[in-house]
């Protein structure tokens, strides 16, 4: 039985708090919640399910967006139509990144922000993320392009940063001479 998550809205000050490192083993509740997040993110990217459950499309969610201040992120990345790679990272850290910067041409979105935000968010084109899987095993992920943006976006949530905090207030829109768009 699918039950929609209760995602906090940007007005909720809990989204601005820094999350705490997680110790292992994860609780049963955390593991159950991770599975629920994977289901919702997957459904949100399948048009029929998106409509059936009235979901906004999203590829990532961090525990703080549910009011839980634990350093856990989940990303469901559609690698080809109907085929998804799931990433669950506990205590993620970006250990290296490219010099090259990119931005989502249409701007970024967030399941906690229910309005249009104009502006480009400069992100690293490639990142290497370390952390742990649900069972406490060390993992290392190399992400590029769209997936790199998703990791940076979700890790920002763990530090109480929303994507629009990274938009230059003086010059929100960049051009292709200033950044590479994806």
Instruction: List active site positions.
Output: 154
Of the candidates 85, 96, 168, 162, the residue with the CA atom closest to the CA atom of residue 125: 96
Token pair belonging to 82: 């109907």
Which H/E stretch holds residue 130? strand 126-132
Which H/E stretch holds residue 31? helix 28-44
8 Å CB contact between 61 and 148: no
Taken in order 109, 111, 113, 116, is the CA torsion positive or negative? Answer: positive
CA distance 174 to 160: 24
Collapse the DSSP code of 167 into the 3-class scheme (helix H, G, I; strand E, B; otherwise coil) and give the result.
coil
How far is CA 158 from each of CA 60, 61, 67, 80, rounded to the nearest angstrom? 12, 10, 11, 28
**Taking the C-alpha atoms of 32, 151, 162 and 2 in order, what is their torsion angle to the nearest 10 degrees?**
-30
């Amino acid at each position: 039985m699918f039950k929609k998550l209760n995602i906090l809205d940007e007005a909720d000050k809990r989204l601005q708090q820094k999350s705490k490192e997680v110790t292992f083993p994860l609780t049963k509740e955390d593991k159950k919640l991770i599975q629920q997040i994977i289901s919702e993110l997957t459904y949100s990217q399948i048009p029929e399910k998106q409509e059936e459950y009235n979901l906004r499309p999203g590829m990532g969610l961090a525990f703080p967006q549910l009011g839980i201040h634990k350093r856990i992120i989940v990303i469901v990345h559609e690698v080809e139509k109907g085929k998804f790679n799931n990433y669950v990272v506990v205590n993620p850290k970006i250990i290296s990144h490219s010099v090259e910067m990119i931005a989502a041409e249409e701007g970024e979105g967030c399941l906690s922000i229910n309005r249009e935000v104009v502006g480009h968010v400069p992100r690293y084109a490639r990142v290497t993320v370390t952390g742990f899987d649900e069972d406490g095993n060390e993992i290392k992920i190399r992400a590029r392009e769209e997936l790199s943006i998703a990791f940076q976006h979700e890790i920002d949530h763990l530090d109480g940063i929303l994507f629009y905090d990274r938009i230059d207030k003086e010059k929100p829109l960049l051009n292709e001479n200033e950044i590479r768009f994806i």
